[in-house]
Amino acid sequence: MSDALATPTGLESHYAAQLAADLERNATEQERIGTEVQSLQEQLRALQRDRELLLKMQQLLDDGAAASVRQAAATRKARVPAPRETAPRAKRTAPKKAAAAKAKPQPKPKPAEGPTLIELVRTHLGQQSEPRSAAEVTTALTQGHPDRTIKTTVVRTTLEKLVAKGQAQRTRQQNSVFYSTPDAPEQTKGADDGAATAAEKPESKD
């Protein structure tokens, strides 16, 4: 009977020792976690203080930037003169427009004087024994009619119109374009020489 009663007593002491160890381990773990929590709370408070400081610094920078922008805008406004120049500009442009309007009607009576440009170009080509470029035609017409303003671009356009009408023909030599009358007989440049050539034609045929 004594041995039977001793066995439960040994189990109880074993469980009691196990429970005591578990309680001690639990207390140690709580102490460790508590220490970590306290450390984390201190870190959190430090981060919060840093955040407040950073926000204050950001606000100061924003205020300074806004002040700089306002100062720069005020400086620009001070440099820009008052809108007084608009009136003088309008006054200046008004006489120019009036002068231009007066100057435009002046060239109108010119077309009534003398032959037209297309007639001059056609006549000049008929007097040539060799094809002529637009620049050569322009030079000849300018020398023959110094009172008229003749441009190469206008002469070239006129020559192309004659080509389109079949009153002139276009030939290309290398990179240049030359014009002549279609199937025109060979003539010298001078009008007198042209008449002499016409008089000599029957003899040449014989």
Express each pLDDT in 112-140 by its tens digit. 467 888 888 888 888 888 888 989 999 99
Residue 88 has pLDDT above 70, yes or no: no
Determine if the pTM surpasses 0.75.
no
| Range with the poorest average pLDDT among 1-10, 12-21, 158-167, 173-182 | 1-10
User: What's the CATH code, domain 113-183?
Assistant: 1.10.10.10
Domain boundaries, the chain: 10-78, 113-183
Report pLDDT digits (tens) over 95-108. Answer: 666 666 666 655 55
Local confidence band at 189 (pLDDT 50, 70, 90 cut-offs): very low
- The answer to whether the beta carbons of residues 177 and 160 sit under 8 Å apart is no
**Residue 12 in tokens:** 């109880």
In Å, what is the CA distance from 4 to each residue of 7, 13, 43?
6, 15, 60
Which residue type sits at 13?
S
In angstroms, the CA 104 to CA 97 distance is 11
pLDDT digits (tens, 9 = 90+) for 20-69: 899 999 999 998 999 999 899 999 999 999 999 999 999 998 888 888 88
Check residues 73 and 191 and name the one with the higher pLDDT.
73
* 176: three-class secondary structure by DSSP: strand
Task: Please state, for a pLDDT cut of 70, what percent of the chain lies above it.
Answer: 67
Q: CA torsion angle for 118, 137, 166, 130 (degrees, to 10)?
A: 150
